[in-house]
């Protein structure tokens, strides 16, 4: 997704803008640019490709000044190119702006503006916004912005420089994230917190259609009608290194290695490991209203959805409550009618995924209680859900979600355990026993991370695979979906997750000599069944890697490799099993020379539909 930065204050804006864009690069982009007021005019520099290309241009043709905006573009309308890269301006050269989002009625607006004499130079929807603002601007920036907002349909986060109002940056957003902050050197705006952490830890999250005016003296806020409003700030206590790679070659490996700590930090928020009790007041189901919860629906996208698949198993098993998990982009158009007593849980690392936000807003409009599981304080989902259960994974920079999945699953497990405790479907002894087992998990995860060389070795032999199948039953099939996505998105190898019992109903036709099949066998009650499915594919030529926490004498000798880990309770198996699966995806990608942290076509946070 696009990244926006802006600064106005006592320092040269250019290096601050470039540094901010570097920090946001993990969001994925294909061009970049900046605009700076140099004391006499707004100067722009932009270029297709990586930020290095922009830095090279600035080396040859520098610009400097105390106020500027910057942008990394993830193309939606108009191919990645110099002319389509941001910033964009209006024909009358009154302003320049950068934009993150999608303007859904840009074609209609473009035709209207063309009739008024606007000359367009790009194929972007963003230029339409610049031209529209230029058309309604008569010397009053806030009036022009409120008028333009009435005409625009779609999502936008805008940072705008008006030529006749230098040293101020005007910002507004709707359905696209934006955060502002004021530090000792001036005011900052960014799409995400890490871009300004070096300058201020006190940030304000913009609400939909609210306007922020940044000046070297401070930040003023207005509502969509131009009326001044007050907004508080949130102190961010992330350490700066958390958003840096450190000694790791890739953020993805760093974040896998952080999983034991991320798990522990998250669990400790909800569990007292000394008394072996859940912290009741951290959960949204208090004794009195838990009985009102009749069913749970979980929504998310990608990895977050896959964590929701585990959540579905946990609520069904522990709280004995009907639970469904759906993909948010499908659900939001499904016409689903919520039932009496249904609770919607939305899960999102970034808290800014457009489809998940839309589904949550749909539920809220229907009067349904919404509970979020989210990793970013102040994000849209965290702010708008009725209740929030935060994960404490710290900033996740690699596009591939790893520690966020693990901590989301942990919160689902603990929330289900608490609901079961309140509903009386889980007796105290089981709660204590599960908490005791949870306390052992970080060390077990660490020992799996410490033994990662054998996974690297296996990947060094298998990275030329064209197709990989992940098969399992029950919780293992939920795990298989996440394992397949990880491998696909970082190594570009086609991989599919399949319920092991379903193979015989068609897909086994794809198995041929040498097809790589990863068999997940962590559920004792289903192990024998999955082992026979492994045999079925093996005798048809598949090369099988088994991942298990049990003994499989009949299968062991037939597998190309068996990765074993210490047995836990079946509900806790994913917390160990996912680590070798993430490492496998990582090493396959490294072996193939892929862009591990920023895979092609992908963005870290999908803030557009």
Helix, strand, coil percentages in the chain from 3-state DSSP, rounded to 5: 40, 25, 35
Distance of alpha carbon 467 from alpha carbon 296, whole angstroms: 35
Do you find a cis peptide bond into 81, omega within 30 degrees of 0?
no
Chain positions 447 to 476 lying near ligand AGP, rule: CB under 6 A, are none
Spatial contact of 448 and 565, defined as CB atoms under 8 Å apart: yes
Q: Which is nearer to ligand AGP, 148 or 399 (CB)?
A: 399
349 makes contact with ligand AGP (CB under 6 A) = yes
Q: Which is nearer to ligand AGP, 72 or 349 (CB)?
A: 349
302 makes contact with ligand AGP (CB under 6 A) = yes
399 makes contact with ligand AGP (CB under 6 A) = yes
Q: Which is nearer to ligand AGP, 45 or 254 (CB)?
A: 254
482-501 mask for ligand AGP (x: CB under 6 A)?
-------x------------
Planar angle of CA 475, 478, 483, nearest 5 degrees? 120
96 makes contact with ligand AGP (CB under 6 A) = no
Active site residues: 2, 604
Distance of alpha carbon 168 from alpha carbon 12, whole angstroms: 14
Q: Which is nearer to ligand AGP, 7 or 586 (CB)?
A: 586
In the complex, least distance from residue 301 CB atom to ligand AGP, rounded to whole angstroms: 4
In the complex, least distance from residue 22 CB atom to ligand AGP, rounded to whole angstroms: 20
Residue span binding ligand AGP (CB under 6 A) among the ranges 42-50, 194-202, 297-305, 498-506: 297-305
Q: Which is nearer to ligand AGP, 303 or 477 (CB)?
A: 303
Q: Which is nearer to ligand AGP, 176 or 530 (CB)?
A: 176
In the complex, least distance from residue 293 CB atom to ligand AGP, rounded to whole angstroms: 24
303-322 mask for ligand AGP (x: CB under 6 A)?
xx------------------
Compute φ and ψ for 213, nearest 5 degrees.
-115, 110
In the complex, least distance from residue 333 CB atom to ligand AGP, rounded to whole angstroms: 18
Q: Residues 400, 503, 521, 552: which binds ligand AGP (CB under 6 A)? A: 400
Q: Residues 350, 380, 515, 533: which binds ligand AGP (CB under 6 A)? A: 350
Residue span binding ligand AGP (CB under 6 A) among the ranges 107-115, 244-252, 300-308, 443-451: 300-308
Q: Say how far residue 121 (Cα) sits from the centre of its chain.
A: 33
In the complex, least distance from residue 374 CB atom to ligand AGP, rounded to whole angstroms: 8
Q: Which is nearer to ligand AGP, 270 or 586 (CB)?
A: 586
Alpha helix stretches (DSSP H) within 225-301: 251-257, 259-270, 287-290
Using DSSP's 3-state secondary structure scheme, residue 291 falls into coil
Residue span binding ligand AGP (CB under 6 A) among the ranges 16-24, 229-237, 264-272, 347-355: 347-355
> Hey, what are 521's tokens?
């066998």
In the complex, least distance from residue 396 CB atom to ligand AGP, rounded to whole angstroms: 8
605 makes contact with ligand AGP (CB under 6 A) = yes
Q: Scan for tokens 């901010």, then name that residue.
A: 20
Q: Which is nearer to ligand AGP, 141 or 302 (CB)?
A: 302
Q: Which residue is nearest to ligand AGP (CB)?
A: 302
Distance of alpha carbon 540 from alpha carbon 270, whole angstroms: 47
356 makes contact with ligand AGP (CB under 6 A) = yes
98 Cβ contact partners less than 8 Å away, ≥ 6 residues apart: 2, 4, 6, 33, 35, 69, 70, 71, 86, 87, 88, 126, 158, 159
Nearest to 578 by CA among 260, 332, 146: 260
Using CA atoms, how far residue 77 sits from 4, 124, 125, 459, in Å, is 17, 5, 6, 38
> Hey, what are 128's tokens?
């339409």
301 makes contact with ligand AGP (CB under 6 A) = yes
380 makes contact with ligand AGP (CB under 6 A) = no
| R_g over Cα of the chain | 25
Using CA atoms, how far residue 544 sits from 158, 458, 459, 481, 575, in Å, is 51, 12, 13, 17, 22
> Hey, what are 452's tokens?
């990662």
Question: What is the DSSP-derived secondary structure letter of residue 325?
Answer: E
In the complex, least distance from residue 325 CB atom to ligand AGP, rounded to whole angstroms: 14
Using DSSP's 3-state secondary structure scheme, residue 360 falls into helix
Q: Residues 96, 368, 401, 413: which binds ligand AGP (CB under 6 A)? A: 401
Give 220-262 as a 3 state SS string: EEECCCCCEECCCCEECCCCHHHHCCCCCCCHHHHHHHCHHHH
Give me the residues that bind ligand AGP (CB under 6 A), please: 301-304, 348-350, 353, 356, 399-401, 489, 605-606
């Amino acid at each position: 997704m696009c990244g926006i930065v802006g600064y106005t204050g006592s320092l040269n804006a250019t290096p601050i803008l470039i540094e901010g864009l570097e920090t946001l690069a993990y969001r994925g982009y294909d061009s970049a640019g900046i605009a700076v007021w140099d004391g006499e005019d707004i100067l722009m520099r932009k270029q297709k490709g990586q930020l290095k290309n922009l830095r090279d241009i600035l080396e040859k043709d520098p610009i400097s000044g105390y106020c500027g905006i910057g942008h990394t573009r993830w193309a939606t309308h108009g191919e990645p190119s110099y002319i389509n890269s941001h910033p964009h301006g209006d024909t009358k050269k009154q302003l320049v702006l950068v934009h993150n989002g999608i303007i859904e009625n840009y074609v209609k607006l473009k035709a209207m503006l063309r009739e008024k004499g606007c000359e367009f130079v790009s194929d972007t929807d963003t230029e339409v916004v610049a031209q529209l603002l230029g058309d309604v601007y008569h010397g009053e920036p806030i009036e022009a912005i409120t008028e333009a907002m009435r005409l625009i349909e779609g999502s936008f986060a805008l940072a705008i420089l008006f030529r006749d109002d230098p040293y101020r940056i005007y910002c507004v957003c709707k359905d696209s994230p934006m955060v502002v902050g004021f530090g000792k050197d001036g005011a900052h705006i960014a799409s995400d917190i890490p871009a300004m952490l070096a300058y201020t830890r006190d940030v304000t999250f913009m609400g939909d259609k609210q306007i922020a005016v940044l000046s070297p003296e401070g930040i003023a806020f207005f509502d969509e009608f131009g009326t001044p409003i007050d907004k508080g700030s949130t102190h961010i206590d992330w350490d700066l290194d958390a958003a840096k790679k450190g000694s790791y070659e890739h953020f993805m490996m760093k974040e896998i290695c952080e999983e034991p700590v991320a798990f522990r930090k998250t669990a400790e928020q909800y569990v007292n490991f000394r008394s072996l009790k859940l912290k009741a007041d951290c959960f949204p189901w208090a004794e009195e209203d838990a009985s009102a919860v009749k069913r749970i629906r979980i929504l998310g996208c990608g990895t977050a959805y896959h964590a929701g698949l585990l959540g579905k198993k946990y609520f069904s098993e522990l709280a004995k409550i009907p639970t469904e998990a759906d993909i948010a982009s499908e659900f939001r158009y499904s016409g689903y009618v919520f039932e009496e007593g249904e609770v919607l849980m939305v899960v999102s690392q970034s808290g800014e995924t457009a489809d998940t936000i839309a589904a949550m807003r749909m539920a809220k409009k229907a009067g349904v209680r919404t509970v979020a599981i989210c990793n970013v304080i102040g994000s849209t989902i965290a702010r708008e859900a009725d209740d929030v259960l935060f994960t404490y994974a710290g900033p996740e920079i690699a596009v591939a979600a790893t520690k966020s999945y693990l901590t989301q699953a942990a919160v689902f497990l603990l929330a289900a355990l608490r609901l079961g405790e309140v509903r009386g479907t889980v007796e105290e002894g089981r709660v204590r026993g599960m908490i005791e087992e949870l306390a052992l998990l970080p060390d077990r995860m660490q020992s799996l991370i410490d033994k990662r060389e054998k996974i690297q070795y296996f990947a060094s032999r298998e990275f030329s695979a064209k197709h990989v199948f992940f098969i399992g039953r029950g919780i293992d099939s939920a795990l298989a979906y996440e394992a397949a996505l990880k491998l696909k998105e970082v190594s570009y190898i086609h991989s599919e997750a399949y319920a092991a019992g379903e193979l015989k109903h068609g897909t086994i036709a794809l198995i041929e000599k040498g097809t790589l099949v990863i068999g997940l066998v962590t559920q004792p009650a289903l192990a024998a069944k999955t082992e026979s499915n492994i045999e079925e594919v093996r005798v048809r030529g598949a090369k099988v890697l088994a991942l298990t926490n049990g003994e499989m004498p009949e299968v062991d000798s037939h597998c190309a490799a068996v990765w074993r880990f210490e047995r836990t309770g079946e509900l806790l198996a994913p917390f160990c099993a996912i680590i070798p699966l993430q490492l496998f995806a990582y090493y396959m990608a490294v072996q193939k020379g892929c862009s591990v942290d920023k895979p092609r076509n992908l963005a870290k946070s999908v803030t557009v539909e």
